[in-house]
Structure 1
Amino acid sequence: MAAHREDHKTIGHSSVGPVTVDCDVVADGDSELMAAVPGSEDETKLRLTAIAGPPATTHN
C-alpha cells in the first residue's frame, strides 16, 4: 500500500523566479504532482516553467 503525504514547496526557477506549489507525494513512486493556487501568479509561473525548462535550485 502506498503512503500519501502533502507538502508545500517554493521552487526557485532561474527564468521565472520563485514559484510556490502544493505537492501530493506517493511514497512508493518517484513522482510528485504539483499545483499552484488557481488564478494566482504562482499558477502562471508554474505554466511558464514548462516552456522555460528545469529550475536552477529547489528550496523546501
Structure 2
Amino acid sequence: MSQLSSSSFFDSSLLVRDVAGSYRPADAGEVLQAALRVLAGQLRGTQITLRNPA
C-alpha cells in the first residue's frame, strides 16, 4: 500500500488492483472495457433503434 501514499499518484490516473493487491494506473483498454460493462448494464432491457440521419 506504499504506492498509495503519494497524492500525485491519483491526480490523473484510474487505478486497477492486480492479483497481488498492488495498484497501478489502468491502461486505455481496461478503461474502455469497464465503460462498456457499465453501458451494457444500463442498456440491458432497453430497446435501441439506430437510424441513418441522411
Both proteins in one fold, TM over 0.5: no
TM-score (normalised: structure 2): 0.26
The structure having more radius of gyration, on CA atoms, is 2
TM-score (normalised: structure 1): 0.24
User: Higher helix fraction: Structure 1 or Structure 2?
Assistant: 2
**Structure with more relative contact order (C-alpha pairs < 8 Å, separation 6 or more):** 1
